[in-house]
Amino acid sequence: MHELSIARSIVELVEEQADNRGASVVEELELEIGHLSGVEIQTLAFALDSAIKGSKLEKARIIRHYIEGEGQCSDCETIFPMNALFSPCPHCGSYLVKILKGKELRVKSIVVKKE
């Protein structure tokens, strides 16, 4: 499962950052997830729940920010909301669309506690 390996790498990355700061507990994790990132949001949430067990993130509050997709047509320059990859331009029907927003999948911030 794609989402499970993403969840594991998020946990790894966050634990590494916690180690670097000499922290034993991660209290809060903020994620940014774009609608066009190719990640199934519910599946990722479920995978994260299992990936954090026994880690420094076990008790962390996980805040998820969802980022709507936005594209710009390369032919007529219309900017429009995108619900899926490969959406045609609603103005001229072109498929030459540049994705401006929505492909993000990243850790925005973490809050750690030193003990």
Annotated binding site: 2, 73, 76, 89, 92
**Binding interface with Zn ion (CB under 5 A):** 73, 75-76, 78, 89, 91-92, 94
Least gap, CB of 93 to Zn ion (angstroms): 7
State the minimum distance, in angstroms, from the CB of residue 48 to Zn ion: 37
Task: Identify which of residues 48 and 73 has a Cβ nearer to Zn ion in the complex.
Answer: 73
Provide the 3-class DSSP secondary structure of residue 89. Answer: coil
Cα(70)–Cα(37) distance, integer angstroms: 12
Question: Around Cβ 67, how many Cβ atoms within 10 Å?
Answer: 16
